[in-house]
Amino acid sequence: MITKNLLFEIGTEDLPPNNLKNFSKKISDNIELNLKKNNVQYSSVINFYTNIRLTFIINNIEEEIYVKEKLIKGPPISQCFDESNNPTKTGLGFSSKYNVDIDKLDKKSIDGKDYLFYKQPEKIIKVSNILPKILEKALDSVEDQKKMRWGDNDTLFIRPIKWILLIFGSENLNCEILGIKTCNYTYGNKVLNNNKIIINNIEEYKSSLINENIEIDQEIRKDKIKKDLIKIFQKNDFDNSIDKNTLEEVTNMAESPHLFLGKFPEKYLDLPKEVLAYVVQDTQKYFLIFKKNKMTNFFVGSSNVKINENIIKGNERVVIPRLDDAKFFIDKDLKNDIFSKKSMLKKVIFHKKLGSMFDKVDRIIKLSIYINSISYNDKKLLVREIAEICKLDLISSMVVEIPKLQGVIGQHYAEKSNKNKIISEGIKDHYLPKNPEDSVPGSKDAQLVSMADKLDTVVGIFLVNEKPTGTRDPLGIRRATNGFLRIILQIEYNLSLTELIDNSAKIIYENTSYFNKQVKQDGGLEDCHQFFKDKLILTLKDNLGFQENIILAVINNEKNIIPYDLLKKIEAVKIIINNPSYKDLFSNAKRISNILKKSDVQVSSEINENLLRESSEKMLYNAINNLKKELELSLNQKKYEVYLKTLNELNDFITAFFAEVMINAEEEEIKLNRLSILSTINNYYNKVANFTVLAF
Amino acid sequence: MTFQEIIFKLKSFWANQGCVSLEPYDFPVGAATFHPSTFLRALGPEPWKAVYAQPCRRPTDGRYGENPNRLQHYYQLQVILKPSPNEIQDLYLESLSFLGIERKYNDIKFVDDNWESPSLGAAGVGWEVWLNGMEISQFTYFQQIGGIECKPVTGELTYGLERIAMHLQSIDNLYEIKWNDEITYGEIYLQNEEENSKYNFELVEPKILIKLFNDMEKECENLLNENLPIPAYDILLQNSHILNLLDSSQAVSSTERQAYILRLRKLSFLIAEKYLEKRKKLNFPLKK
């Protein structure tokens, strides 16, 4: 069959660069979805985009769809005609759907019941007739698309549409999409000529764009920017470092990007580097330049037209007042001495029920000192000192102006007022880790404050029953929980998550005025425990890569959740689970557990030596006794792999025991004593995991 | 090109496009959008095209005359096109070339920047326009004003006049802008910046302003009860400026500020609703 290619270009006003890649891909996916739904045969859909074009090319569309003759089942005859054999609403509904007379419909019996049938004749659908609807639907049904309106029409799209070019083969389809008439022309480079260009086919489209200096293919455009950057790097001996987000943005904001090297006065390098990055990279969308890993006063910008001296000068001129402004704020804040104004935090709200930042800081102090006392227990740590001032930069005019600089600015001000290095770094570090790629705070001091801050946020939100739902998580509860768990798993202390949550709740109850009046809602606390447990399982699984069945076998075996201890146990189980020499440990654990479950009597784990009868029984008992010390020692030292290895040495004795001994002895005393032996062993297993669920 | 010539030229360019040439509003505003010719005229079905220059006050942006690029009192040139025409972006670019800013030799970017005014209950989709990296205009399609969906949609073009003058006169310090051939921007406004920065940051008396805010709010409600949305709107403008002053004096916390904004928004919703009702009673006279 003859196939044709389709060219579909939507010319718009400038598209938002942030999500452009996804947006274009989603439309492309939608096109494929709708082509398939309509049985249109094609080979591929390709998507291109620039800042003002969304282009899709569908290759090798078969012009016609052949639809075979088809029998369509209708309602039962009994419902289609009344007693006097006149057609009912149901009957007429079915016939009118296919636009035929009801008397012309077939009748057929299925399982003894008669139904109306419509025999749809074979037909041929011209694809060109259904393409407009397919494309319109693809545009319209992109999820999470923030649509807008413009002018005096009802069209909704992400940005105003200026033209829609639609060519099928070489035919101008001349139809309507989203209320806009399609055409057979495109526009050239907006900044150069902006002239109308008639397009007859895809080849013409491609060559016209090349003539206009437009690179429609985003990947080629991106590569070109990269190459140009590297050229600049090599020429000037700069480090080869390219910020991915900036690259994406620059690619998406241009049709034909030209790069230039600019600079700002060196004196601004004194500003905190995050402030420089904010101004130069985030705001102005320039590439930052590094030399030997140090930020320089150079930047690379991009232009949509050929570079001239004025463009470079203009861009350089913009950076200075912005940096000056940052300096203005910083100087003002330093004069203000924010660290002497703790009561100002009363004006900064944390949460309407959980109080101000002042209240939160008070809780962070209490909680971090508590965590220190049960972990490092080192009075020399500057926990209180960091906690007291870690939120104070929130009142600084620099952070009020640019909130994302919180922490960084506090650190900078603390350094300027000659605070201890641990304290000033702690201000920034107590926010860590924010993202999976961040490391945990460097100092023990900051780790404790970070844990307290995050725990207080999460527990607090659960106590006021505002746990995150779906995508709604305004206070970043999930992120705070993940950060908290990362630290607790890393600091190698056996902190009980259960106790930490309960203590944090206690501090919140006792120190938050909301709870003086309010009845405590302990349901929230229960949910909080479960939430942390679920997140811990996820962290162990997704971040640390453990198998879920091992994690569950360990974690579900514990009432008191101690993340670091769980981690050590999971690591040990992971090592032995695929080791054949441990096979019997798993099967014995299962067998013993089953027997104990069935026995249905209270079994003490006290074994009475005098009631031991058989030799294998005595040998097992002696073996347990001989290994006891060793087992306890490795358990106390959390050397779970050693512990399991020791436990594994009981296997032969257990096998012999089962071979020789009848558990259900006639004398009740003896039976119970034998169960006690098994119970003792079972307890040893359970110290690490519920092995029965892992047995082969 | 002098500062005043830029205003003349832009006004004549847009007057030639059919815009009504208006004068600035006589109450303090934080942006030209607050001029009733924008806020009120964007409501309802009546078409509207206007151009005017508007001095704006943003107390927190004051820098005691020390920053070469920041002012607490500055000028915007506002163009309102309702409904927004299809070729609005091209018209804007033409107006720049009318000023001698050619798109072939300058990098002009439309940078995604949606607009929202919480106190006006207003929101729009749009861009900052960058000229060689410098923001010189704001370009917005109003989607909602005073809580009411805009239909048809108004297109708003706001030129930052000082920035454009700095580009055209190739200078780094806005105080050196030539207002005409004789006198500079600084000679007219430097003392104003120094004195008002001192007032905004150091001498605002919150108690007086808070009382004023409360009194004016009552006045506004009375006027709305009398079905007089236009004077009620004037009162809203004054309260909006009072809030900006409270902001610059750092007298209100972020939550208090939010509470004030909500009070303003409540009034702006009522004003928009009343204004639209009254125009409807008049059968939308500009809808010819």
- Residue type (1 letter), B180: N
Q: Is A324 on the interface with B (CB under 8 A)?
A: yes
Among chain A residues, the shortest Cα distance to B174 is held by A321
Same domain, A159 and A272: no
Residues B154 and B212 in one domain: no
Indicate if A185 and A41 belong to the same structural domain.
yes
Shared-domain flag, residues A101 and A247: no
Residue B288 lies in a domain: no
Chain A residues within 8 A of B107 when measuring between CB atoms: 191, 303-305, 311, 314-315
Same domain? B53 vs B140? yes
Are A305 and B112 an interchain contact pair (Cβ–Cβ within 8 Å)? no
User: Tens digits of per-residue pLDDT, A439-477?
Assistant: 999 999 999 999 999 999 999 999 988 888 876 777 789
Set of chain A residues whose Cβ sits within 8 Å of the Cβ of B96: none
A522 in the same domain as A467: yes
Same domain for B157 and B192: yes
Question: B262: part of which helix (H) or strand (E)?
Answer: helix B254-281
Q: Is A662 in the B-facing interface, judged by CB distances under 8 Å? A: no
Distance from CA of A573 to the nearest CA of B (A): 52
Work out the pLDDT band at A243, boundaries 50, 70, 90.
Answer: very high
CATH classification at residue B71:
3.30.930.10
Question: CB of B106 within 8 A of CB of B129?
Answer: no
| Residues B18 and B108 placed together within one structural domain of the fold | yes
Judge: B141–A18 Cβ closer than 8 Å, yes or no: no
Closest Cα partner for A206 from A180, A172, A167? A167
Residue A151 is assigned to a structural domain of this protein: yes
User: Which of the four pLDDT bands, split at 50, 70 and 90, describes residue A604?
Assistant: confident
Report CB contact under 8 Å: A150, B127.
no
Shared domain check, A360 and A450? yes
Instruction: Supply the pLDDT for residue B231.
Output: 98
Task: Please report whether residue B16 resides in a domain.
Answer: yes
Question: Measured between beta carbons, which residues in chain A are less than 8 angstroms from residue B67?
Answer: 321, 324-325, 328
- Check whether residue B190 and residue B212 sit in a common domain: no
Which pLDDT value is given to residue A519? Answer: 66
Domain ends where: B174, B200, B226?
B200
Interface with chain B: mutation pick from A156, A308, A347, highest number of B CBs within 10 Å? A347
Question: What's the total number of domains in chain A?
Answer: 5
Question: Do residues A33 and A89 lie in contact, with contact meaning Cβ atoms separated by under 8 Å?
Answer: no
CA atoms within 13 A on the CB side of A503: 18
Q: Per the domain annotation, does A603 fall within a domain? A: yes
A402 occurs within a structural domain: no
- The reply to whether B287 falls in a domain is no
Where does residue B151 rank: exposed (0-12), middle (13-18), buried (19+ CB within 10 A)?
Answer: middle
The answer on B177 and B104 residing in a single domain is yes
Residue B28 lies in a domain: yes
CATH number (domain holding residue B254): 1.20.58.180
Read off the pLDDT of residues A346-381 as tens digits, 9 standing for 90 and up: 888 888 889 999 999 999 999 999 999 999 999 999
Parent domain of A326:
218-336
**Residue that terminates a domain, selected from B158, B183, B200:** B200
Which residues from A are below 8 Å from B85, CB to CB?
151
Do the beta carbons of residue B213 and residue B242 sit within 8 Å?
A: yes
Nearest CA in chain B to A259: B107
- Show residues of chain A in contact with B92, CB under 8 Å: none
Domain-ending residue, one of A492, A527, A545: A545
pTM: 0.79
Are B130 and B233 part of one and the same domain? no
B143 and B229 in a single domain? The answer is no
Confirm whether B246 is domain-assigned.
yes
- For the cut 90, the answer to whether the pLDDT of residue A664 exceeds it is no
User: What ipTM was predicted for this assembly?
Assistant: 0.93
Task: Please check whether residues A424 and A524 belong to one and the same domain.
Answer: yes
CA torsion A66→A68→A71→A74, rounded to 10°? -10
The predicted structure's pLDDT at residue A603: 81
The CATH number of whichever domain residue A44 belongs to comes to 3.30.70
* Domain tally, chain B: 2
B86 and B220: one domain?
Answer: no
Residues A486 and A579 in one domain: no
Run of H or E including A118: strand A113-120
A144 in the same domain as A107: no
What is the mean predicted confidence (pLDDT) over A584-612?
88
Q: Does the CB of A520 have a partner CB in chain B at under 8 Å?
A: no
Helix, strand, coil shares of chain A, percent, nearest 5, are: 55, 15, 30
Q: Do A228 and A206 share a domain, yes or no?
A: no
Beta-strand relationship, B108-112 and B122-131: antiparallel
User: Do B110 and B183 belong together in one domain?
Assistant: yes
Q: Which domain holds residue B237?
A: 205-281
B56 and B15 together in one domain? yes
Contact present, A88 and A82 (Cβ < 8 Å): yes
What would the mean pLDDT of A333-343 be, rounded to a whole number?
91
The answer to whether A384 and A364 have CB atoms below 8 angstroms apart is no
CA gap A411, A429 in Å, rounded: 9
B126 with B178, same domain? yes
Size of interface A-B (CB pairs under 8 A): 115
Residue B250 confidence (pLDDT): 80
- Picking from B143, B176, B200, the residue at the C-terminal end of a domain is B200
Please indicate if any CB of chain B lies within 8 Å of the CB of A406: no
Q: Is the pLDDT of residue B279 over 90?
A: yes
pLDDT at A521 over 70: no
Same domain, A276 and A130: no
Please classify residue A399 by burial: count the beta carbons closer than 10 Å to its beta carbon, then call 0-12 exposed, 13-18 middle and 19+ buried.
Answer: buried
3-state secondary structure of A7: strand
